[in-house]
Amino acid sequence: MNLRLELTRFLKLCFVLSSAFMFWKGLSIATNSHSPIVVVLSGSMEPAFQRGDVLFLWNRNERSKVGDVVIYEVQDKSIPIVHRVLREHHNDKNKQLLLTKGDNNAGDDIPLYGRKKIYLQKERDIVGTVKGYVPQLGYVTIWISENKYAKLALMGFLGISALLSNE
């Protein structure tokens, strides 16, 4: 075991991980969204977006318009929701309030908001507005997150490839 070689491999791995992290944080700053890329996890927005589509978000717009597809998060739920703006209102402080609905859902999203809320606040709840997408690319992440054997296989593959890699 060559200590210098092992340290070089470790530093390269650290460089790759820190580069990916810096890219993600830079993208987050540029888009003004803590999660600038999301994967559609359900069929509630069909036919506009299918399960597994990767969405690119932008959150630098001051207002959302009726018809925009937005991603929002509500308290006590960790998964962001992708739905279309159905209505907009303004409160006394001129803050934008939004009512959303999935294209493939029968009713609006009021039951999802929780705690007697009937609208989302643009500044507080909206993660971003969809500005682009890549179809089906997110199925890899869905498959890995929903299948424990896929997680184990991926971790095993990464571990074995790290052990077998040579300079």
Does residue 83 have an active-site annotation? Answer: yes
- Give the orientation angle of helix 139-146 with respect to helix 148-164, to 10 degrees: 100
User: Active site includes 68?
Assistant: no
Q: DSSP letters along the chain, please?
A: --HHHHHHHHHHHHHHHHHHHHHHHHHHHHHT-S-SEEE--SSTTTTTS-TT-EEEEE---SSPPTT-EEEE--TT--S-EEEEEEEEEE-TT--EEEEEE-TT-SS-SHHHH-TT--SEEHHHHEEEEEEEEETTTTHHHHHHHH-HHHHHHHHHHHHHHHHH---
Catalytic residue among 44, 53, 64, 125: 44
Q: Active site residue: 53, 64, 83, 125, which one? A: 83
Q: Which of 33, 53, 64, 109 is catalytic?
A: 109
Give the residue numbers marked as catalytic.
44, 83, 109
